[in-house]
Amino acid sequence: MPNPNLETTRKKPAFKITLIIIVVAMLIGLNLWRNHNYSGLLVKTVKVEEKSMGEKVYASGSIELQDKQEVIARDNRVLQQLYVKSGDRVKAGQLLAVLECIYEEKALTDAGVSLAMEEAEYNRVINPSAEDLAIGKAEFEQSKINYNNSQISLQRKEALYAAGAISTQELEVSRQDLQIQETAFLKAQKQYDILCNGPRETDRKAVEAKLARAQAAVQTAEEELARYIIKADIDGVVLNLENRIGDMIRAGEKFIIIGQPEILHIRVGISEGDATRVKPGQKVVIEAAALPGKKFSGKVIEVAGLARVKESTSTRQVEVPVRVSVEDKSGLLKPGYSVDLEIISVAAKKRLVIPYEALHEGKGTKQVWVYDDGKARLQIVTTGVEGELSLEVTKGLEKGDLLILDPLAGLKDGQKVRKATIPATTPKDDNHD
């Protein structure tokens, strides 16, 4: 009688062998199917998209007053008079304060007296009046009489000295008097001649030079005095004034500042690589560290024509100074605040955008690899606006084209490729929208 258990035992190996053959056949078939459908190099792809994109230049700086006047003491002086206080609005030319200036006032007075004398002499010589002529004539005639009398007196004294009637000392006094009178006479004669006939060239230049020196002395004295009589140079608001009358203002002390707090600006340095993209009139977005979450508007108003170089022992940095105006009707921004700037060098608009990973250069051209129905196709493109993560393509591609990301070296035009299971996508936001 057959053993049932033995029959079962014999059937098991046969079943296992059959199962193995089936699995192997399935694997072979699957592999053949995959090779048929997915033959080629495995690649990641990204779709050419249209998105809003512009171009920005980033910088940092601090808020400053666009127009300001800083009054700095030249030396130690007592504050004698004070006509304003902090917060007062002032006009250009308005008197603000007076520092001790006794010596400067005396110097100006003395210079003014000298100028008046030189002006009178100039007018007498260059353009004499009838009164000047009469006085000059009288002085000349009187000096002539005095000179003649001295001559007669000396002759008489010499006769007396010869007779032994007077001493040598008396005779010498008479001779000295004659010299004095002769000098006075010659001077009066010359001056009267000038009054009657006009000055000689040398005399004219002499009085003109004296007058010019006197005028210069007055101007110098006025300028020196003005340093201590403080006036407003601009319209604005007194921003800081803590001193009182009688206080000693120390040399170098910035004791009055006038500015226009509603008119602010920012000075920043732009890298030489970005400087060509920054131009006057461009809009600027401003954010202050002291005012998180708030944004303010501005505009580029000046780009320096000359770069500046900052050098250290290890680095060399080239920057182009740029000045930005600030629009802040709220009054929240204050001078001294640190700010970050976004300069809109190219306005945002809809553009065809690709990631940088899809772009490479070859033979002086910009190129991408296009996934074209299972094959890699080399395409030359023209680019435009550059963002942080992506850039614009202006020629060579269309919306929806599939690009190969990070193509392997040696990839050939027309080579078979197959897409990765999960395609790559372009960045949703490259911070240039």
Whether the Cβ atoms of residue 241 and residue 255 lie closer than 8 Å to each other: yes
pLDDT over threshold 90, residue 29: no
- pLDDT at 34 > cutoff 80: no
Cα 299 to Cα 286: distance, rounded to the nearest angstrom: 10
* Tens digit of each residue's pLDDT (9 = 90 or more) over 156-190: 988 888 888 889 999 899 899 999 999 998 988 88
Classify 337 as helix, strand or coil. coil
* Predicted confidence (pLDDT) at residue 33 exceeds the cutoff of 50: no
Using DSSP, state whether 193 is helix, strand or coil: helix
Residue 230 has pLDDT above 90, yes or no: yes
The pLDDT-based confidence of 422 (bands split at 50, 70, 90) is low
Q: Say which residue, 36 or 46, is predicted with more confidence.
A: 46
Q: What is the pLDDT of residue 11?
A: 52
Give the closest residue to 74 by CA, choosing from 225, 180, 282.
225
- Give the residue from 382, 353, 347 showing the smallest Cα distance to 55: 347
Give the per-residue pLDDT at 30. 53
- The answer to whether the CB of 111 falls within 8 A of the CB of 221 is yes
The arithmetic mean of pLDDT across residues 117-139, rounded, is 81
- Number of neighbouring beta carbons within 10 Å of residue 367: 17
pLDDT of residue 28: 55
What is the rounded distance in angstroms from the CA atom of residue 388 to the CA atom of residue 274? 13
Give the model's pLDDT for residue 132. Answer: 74
**Residue 276 per-residue DSSP state:** T
pLDDT of residue 110: 96
pLDDT at 431 over 80: no
Which pLDDT score, from 0 to 100, does residue 133 have?
A: 73
Whether residue 96 is predicted with pLDDT greater than 90 in this model: the reply is yes
Neighbours of 33 (CB within 10 A): 10
Query: What pLDDT is recorded for position 425?
Result: 53
Give the distance, in angstroms, between the CA of residue 193 and the centroid of all CA atoms in the same chain. 62
Q: Mean pLDDT over residues 415-424, rounded?
A: 76
Residues 6+ apart with CB under 8 A from 147: 178, 181, 182, 184, 185
User: What is the mean predicted confidence (pLDDT) over 300-321?
Assistant: 87
pTM above 0.85, yes or no: no
Q: What is the pLDDT of residue 248?
A: 96
Q: Is the pLDDT higher at 163 or at 103?
A: 103
Give me the mean pLDDT over the 69-88 stretch. 94
Sign of CA dihedral 202, 207, 213, 216: negative
**228 pLDDT more than 70:** yes
pLDDT at 32: 47
Does the pLDDT at position 1 exceed 60?
A: no
Contact between 292 and 67 (Cβ < 8 Å)? no
- Residue identified by tokens 């009267």 is 192
As a whole number, the mean pLDDT across the chain is 86
Q: What percent of the chain has pLDDT over 90?
A: 56
Query: What is the distance in angstroms between the CA of the first residue and the CA of the last residue of the chain?
Result: 90
Is the pLDDT score of 363 beyond 60?
yes
